[in-house]
Amino acid sequence: MISYAKQNGIIIFLDILGIKGIWRRRNPFKVIQKWQYLVRIYNNLSKDMLSAYSQSEIEKREMIIFSDTIIITIPKIPTNNVLWGIASMLTSLFVHSSNDRLFIRGGLSSGVYYHSENMIIGPAIDEVYEYHKQIEWAGISTAPSLTKIIKQQEKRGKSEHGYCPYDIPTKKGAERDGRALFWPPFDIVTSENRTIESIIKTELKKNIEENAKNKLENTLRFIQYIKGKYKIQNLVLS
């Protein structure tokens, strides 16, 4: 029997920057292998989330994968605790993928959606999909519905949720005072003496398409802004 449900919760929409034509630039089998590895990382991270934030909060999360796109639904109200758990998971996923030169871009929304085993429709998925099309960087930020909730929580003194104020680059210009995933503090120097910042600088020296180049340049500006504003030093992986 097919089940249908109306939910009120959080939707995460992610994909990889510059996946078009990547098979020409890199070994396609290695790209697929790395992506499958990242999906396994997500599954492990989501299990860790369950143990850290209790099953009652995030137990019914679901994930849909199509090619390089991941849609995650979490049918829970975005409390500070839930937002922090999601931010922790997304930060780990973003850092792992970027170190493999698979740069994730995406957004999060909050609201009503309707779903079955193989379809999601409703205002929350419409919003995050349209928002995702507008963002111009490799990064993860909140769509207006979730940004509004986060700002309301901040006014009540609840600011430890894993997202920071930033003017998000979009096709329509900067989204003033948006909320971006606060991942740069976890840009660790790897055993190969690399950081995500240095990886992006290397990628920008290559012959990449202009659209991807602009997005990576915006990401580099975000890293440098956050590291400067919060006096962040790269940790070294021991």
Using pLDDT thresholds of 50, 70 and 90, give the confidence band for residue 63. Answer: confident
111, 127 Cβ separation under 8 angstroms? yes
51, part of any domain = yes
Q: Which domain holds residue 62?
A: 5-229
Alpha carbon separation from 125 to 63, 130, 173, 184 (Å, rounded): 13, 9, 23, 27
236, part of any domain = no
159, part of any domain = yes
Of 9, 178, 219, nearest to 94 (Cα)? 219
Beta bridge partners of 105: 15
pLDDT at 236 over 90: no
What is the percent of the chain where pLDDT is above 70? 89
pLDDT of residue 235: 58
Of 187, 148, 141, nearest to 164 (Cα)? 141
167, part of any domain = yes
pLDDT at 1 over 50: no
pLDDT at 183 over 80: yes
| DSSP reduced 3-state for 183 | coil
Q: Among 53-62, 127-136, 167-176, which is the least confidently predicted range?
A: 53-62
- Which is more confidently placed, 91 or 3? 91
Tokens at residue 62, please? 């679901």
Using pLDDT thresholds of 50, 70 and 90, give the confidence band for residue 54. Answer: very low
Of 27, 11, 22, 85, nearest to 52 (Cα)? 85
CATH of the domain at 168: 3.30.70.1230
Using pLDDT thresholds of 50, 70 and 90, give the confidence band for residue 108. Answer: very high
235, part of any domain = no
238, part of any domain = no
Read off the pLDDT of residues 125-165 as tens digits, 9 standing for 90 and up.
999 999 999 999 999 999 999 999 999 999 998 888 899 99
Q: Which residues contact 32 (CB under 8 A, 6 or more apart)?
A: none
pLDDT of residue 55: 47
pLDDT of residue 48: 65
pLDDT of residue 20: 77
The one-letter amino acid at 235: L
pLDDT at 195 over 80: yes
155, part of any domain = yes
Mean pLDDT computed over every residue of the chain: 87
If one counts the domains in the chain, the total is: 1
114, part of any domain = yes
